[in-house]
Structure 1
Amino acid sequence: MADKPAIVLVHGFWGGAAHWANVIVELRKRGYDKLHAVENPLTSLADDAERTRKMIRQVDGPVVLVGHSYGGAVITEAGDLPNVKALVYIAAFAPDAGESPGRITEEKPPAAFANIAPDSDGYLWIEQDKFHESFAQDLGPDEALVMAVTQKAPVGSTFADTVTAPAWREKPVWYQVSTQDRMIHPDNERRMARRMNPREIVELDASHASLASQPRAVVDLIEAAARETAG
């Protein structure tokens, strides 16, 4: 592609922008030089969507907006800006209007749901000694340990924040399902993907941390969206 779009990456709960490290390296290898990774506060969907919009507004030209996990709710809320040309969901929430990640989770709880616990300040954490098995069982123990210790806990109330006007109703969508996901039930991922009528659904034999364990396959999907954006 002569004119590659900018790629804006949005992280989810229990991680920051650095969770995209392997994807960023792979995108750069493929010639994408307009790369941005939002660092969201995880304090509310409104706060996170606004932080993401600010990043998007800094980009001159078309954007492929990519969300992992709760980041899918963020791109659903923030993806209405005119220069956002495609939405890519990586093992992510994709709520409809009036839906929240918490409501979707309660409908079909994931395998590791019991390993999430609040602290006395209202932040939600994955228990450190259960992070590897819960979030990233297909990564090595050292990488999972670093993720566990550096996890970025969301304010618990963020789980209940609802989407207002889902951008996926107006923008083309690509979706990656993690079939071994223990943080979002794989059947919830499939259901959310199907109702968006995506251009493509890819299923990976991966944990919730597919962006770290299978970056090439994740970038393949991002690149499919980027090609269509480039026309």
Structure 2
Amino acid sequence: MAEIVLVHGAWSDGSAWLDVIPALHRQGHRVRAAHLPMTSLADDIAEVRREVTTFSGPVMLAAHSYGGAVISGAAKDNPQVSALTYFAAYVPDEGETVPSMNALFPGAPGKDVVMSHENGWSSLDPDRFHYALAADVASDRAAALAAVQRRARAECFLAPAGPGAWRDLPTGYAVSTEDRILNPDLQRWFAERAGADCVELSASHYSLLSQPEAVATMIDKIAARSE
């Protein structure tokens, strides 16, 4: 049994993990899903650190998409964090930003889904959401997800990352091979650089929704490595 904090990606919230959580419960794990403020990378890291302290023992962190940058920072110099698992997620090294990481490989076909707004906020084009992020999810559910998305500030993506805790902890990575927003080759590069235990899922960016059992299995596997 592990204690696990789940971290969502940008423009989302903790409900992105709702299909994964029951599978983790069946495996015997205790779980909390963070809700990031999406106001800055530092604020999001601080929120995950607070969630970790709700447990008394070792905690594993699992993240989707932008949440990978968050857990990489939240786990650094945090003796309570025991392992990390990434799902179609960014795994930054010190000084890297989301744009600088994206520039390492050609952009995926859905990259133009992001819409910029005034005062540094952004959201996702609801008409492109299904194609870009969740092509293997039922269209009505993808439309609902697009409708409830949250806005995010540019400070989340433009702030340079600090040293990544993935260098020091058991790490897993699940590549989404059909991802249209985060290049699968960039995902493979992240996994290789981190020395991660890697699996490939034939899934869109939202493997959490289309393959929740496989996601839970990967988390359970890395949790066992950290015991």
Which runs of no fewer than 5 residues in structure 1 stay unpaired? none
| Alpha carbons 1:118, 1:156 under 8 Å: kept | no
- Selected match of 2:213 from 195, 204, 216: 216
Q: How much does 1:25 deviate?
A: 1.3
Structure 2 distance, partners of 1:38, 1:205, is 26
SS in 2 for 1:152: coil
| Alpha carbons 2:19, 2:209 under 8 Å: kept | yes
Structure 1 distance, partners of 2:214, 2:175, is 11
State the identity as a percent. 38
Structure 1 distance, partners of 2:36, 2:211, is 23
1:54 aligned to 2:50? yes
| Equivalent position of 1:43 in the other structure | 39
1:226 aligned to 2:223? yes
Residues paired across the two proteins, number: 225
Q: How much does 1:12 deviate?
A: 0.7
Amino acid at match of 1:48: D
| Equivalent position of 1:160 in the other structure | 158
Cα shift readout 1:182-231 (whole Å, capped 9, x = no counterpart)? 12111110101100111x1000110000011101111111001111222x
Q: CA RMSD in A?
A: 1.0
**Which aligned segments of 4 or more residues in structure 1 are displaced greater than 4 angstroms?**
none
Structure 1 distance, partners of 2:45, 2:155, is 15
- Selected match of 1:147 from 145, 148, 162: 145
Cα shift readout 1:71-126 (whole Å, capped 9, x = no counterpart)? 00000000121111100001100001100112111332222111211012322111
| Alpha carbons 1:85, 1:229 under 8 Å: kept | yes
Amino acid at match of 1:43: T
SS in 1 for 2:180: coil
| Alpha carbons 1:14, 1:152 under 8 Å: kept | yes
| Alpha carbons 2:126, 2:147 under 8 Å: kept | yes
Structure 2 distance, partners of 1:196, 1:31, is 28
| Alpha carbons 1:5, 1:61 under 8 Å: kept | no
Which runs of no fewer than 5 residues in structure 2 stay unpaired? none
What TM-score do you get using the length of structure 1 for normalisation?
0.94
